Structure 1
Amino acid sequence: MTGQVKIHPGKIIVYSLLIIFAIIFFSPFVWMLSTSFKASTKVFLNPPQWIPDPFQPENYIEVFQRMPFLKYLKNTLIVTVIPVLGQLVSAPMVAYSITKIPWKGGKYIFPIIIGTMMIPWQVTQIPLFVTWSKLKLVNTFVPLTLPAFFGAPYYIYLMRQFIKGLPDSIIEAARIDGASEIRILYQIVYPMCKTVLTTVTLLVFIGCWNDLNGPLIYLQDGSKYTLSIGLQNFLTTTKQEWELLMAAATLFTMPLIILFFVAQKQFISGIATTGLK
């Protein structure tokens, strides 16, 4: 006689709620994707038409004809990939120095780093623009990429929380063997920080990809515009052509969705291991 499977009412309720909320949060994306393939006369049908009929992929061709999407994509990758590399270099270095290197300044510097997180960006926006303007670097990608190589407080905090939990015995053994701190960082600590490095990569990428304020302030030449500015301009030019706007928004959003699903396991693991809830 086979054993009976026990059904826990609590789990049924939890999974049911998860399914309901998943449908609620995923519905806007499905509607955006569906609308991007519709004809203009089918967008506001009542009841709504979830499956496009007729199916109209020509909307995407129209988007490419009306905006220099590939140029915006190249600019967006520049102001996104370079900051990712910058944070992956600087944040672990700062976190390691204030966590695993025994020196008196570490315990004083970390509270200062955390304290800067309480300063709103609106306070530093004008002084930073004046500084970059006097350096004649406005209308270049430098203001959007160079600061990442000096670390950001939040990513330093994430790295610090993870590195703090690494065993000191491994690092001490490397020091006894004569390894320098740089070698310990990149050959020992880095491989053990794969999950949190993936988390930092994903967060920085998404933040820079979606950033509208920075490019809008520092980029004045249309040939240097990013996708966020291009999408904003496209919104004003398409007027009531919602099917084209949804097609452009889908092209803008799809890389982030693909990236998140590819790195989802590492991202969740990295958030969990840093002690964040």
Structure 2
Amino acid sequence: MLRHLRISPAARPVSLPGLRRAAVALPAYLLMLVAVGIILVPLLWMLTASLKTRQEIYTLPISWWPEAFRWENYEQAWTAVPFARFFINSLITTAVGSGLELINGVLTAYALVFLPFPRKNLVFLVVIAALMVPFQVTIIPNYVLVADLGWVNTYQGIIIPGAAVAFGTFLMRQQFLSLPREVIEAARIDGAGHLRILWSIVLPMSRPALVTFALISIVAKWNEYLWPLLVTNDADRMTLPVGLTQLQHSEGSSEWGVVMAGAVMVITPVLLVFLWARRHIVEGLTAGLVKG
């Protein structure tokens, strides 16, 4: 009769290898929670501070939740500076700048992978070398060129110097290298040209990497501060990050609730874009790791 008795899974003792794996994984999970906390706590403070009065912000000990939601901070932030103009400027520079980055990155990567031309590896080496050059190194030459062209306080002055990025070319090249060559060759046999192959075959098969590239470009363009600050001195062409500085100057160093409300309005669009594209990010960043 004893042979028919079975021990329930809940009553079985935990195996020693399982305990070891849990002991090894526990520090990693704790570090991950610490990292998430370091990222989320400032965002939570910014969100709650945007709904507080000045007295609540300066109250000690810190009060994390406002006593009454002060929505007037958002209205004041929107009207204290031409926030609508800043928003339109950021939309234009981000949409056009990211579009140019995508076009240049995709076409350059396609040429490096599928087009035969001499010194292809040397060209790719130059692209990789450009990844090592900090953007700050090129600021002075870019500004001198933009000033000579008369592009100060213009959209093209903000957009054109950042219309190409080496990282996007590298990312899309690695993705294109991982595509099955049989499909590309079959399309060529059927008479498809390069643009048809790129649009109908290569880009649909590379959607995760393309979405990742677009997301990185959009976030970078939307949050760019230093270059728009240097190349604009007129509110009609200032972008949101520069406008946020103008808001801080107009409100002084005490009305942090209004400034935090402006900051929330600045980061909300990119957070929404990230939530839309999050499922493609990991797959896109790991594309092409096997083949190189």
TM-score (norm 1): 0.92
- Bigger shift: residues 140-149 or 259-268: 140-149
Tell me the percent identity.
31
Q: How many residues align?
A: 275
Q: Deviations over 1:153-193 (max 9, x none)?
A: 11101111111111111111111111111111111101011
CA distance in 1: counterparts of 2:135 and 2:63, whole angstroms: 42
Aligned partners of 1:42, 1:121: CA distance in 2, in Å?
40
SS of equivalent residue, structure 2 residue 9: coil
1:49 match: 63
Match of 1:169 among 171, 178, 182: 182
State whether structure 2 residue 218 is matched by structure 1 residue 212: no
Q: Is the 8 A contact 1:63 1:244 kept in 2?
A: yes
Distance 1:59 1:273 in 2: 44
Give the alignment's Cα RMSD to 1 decimal.
2.0
8 Å Cα contact 1:235/1:245 also seen in 2: yes
- Per-residue CA distance 1:98-144 (angstroms, 9 max, x = gap): 11223333222100121222333333322222222222222211122
The amino acid of 2:222's aligned partner reads W
Gap runs ≥5 in structure 1: none
Pick aligned residue for 2:168 from 130, 155, 168 = 155
Task: Output the amino acid matched with 1:101.
Answer: L
What is the CA distance between 1:12 and its match in structure 2?
A: 4.1
Which moved further from structure 2: 29-38 or 96-105?
Answer: 96-105
Whichever residue aligns with residue 3 of structure 1, its letter is P
Aligned to 1:119, which of 133, 156, 159? Answer: 133
Which residue of structure 1 lines up, in the alignment, with residue 198 of structure 2? 185
Q: Does 1:3 align with 2:9?
A: yes
Contact 1:33/1:246 (8 A) holds in 2: yes
Q: Give the letter aligned to residue 54 of structure 2.
A: S
Matched, 1:227 2:227: no
Conserved? CA contact 1:215–1:229, under 8 Å? yes
1:182 and 1:148, CA in 2 relative to 1: closer, same or farther beyond 3 A?
A: farther
The runs of 5 or more residues in structure 2 that have no matched partner are 1-6
**Counterpart in 2 of 1:26?**
40
Over 3 Å counting, the alpha-carbon distance change for 1:115 and 1:101 in structure 2 is same
Q: Quick one: structure 1 residues 186 and 29, their matched pair in 2 at CA, closer, same or farther if it must change by over 3 Å?
A: same
1:224 alignment partner, SS class: coil
TM-score by length of 2: 0.87
Query: Do the aligned residues in 2 keep the contact of 1:196 with 1:274 (CA within 8 Å)?
Result: no
Report the CA distance shift for 1:262/1:233 in structure 2 as closer, same or farther (over 3 A).
same
Higher-Rg member (1/2): 2
Q: Which of the numbers 66, 71, 74 marks the counterpart of 2:88?
A: 74
CA gap of 1:245–1:148, structure 2 versus 1, over 3 A, is: closer
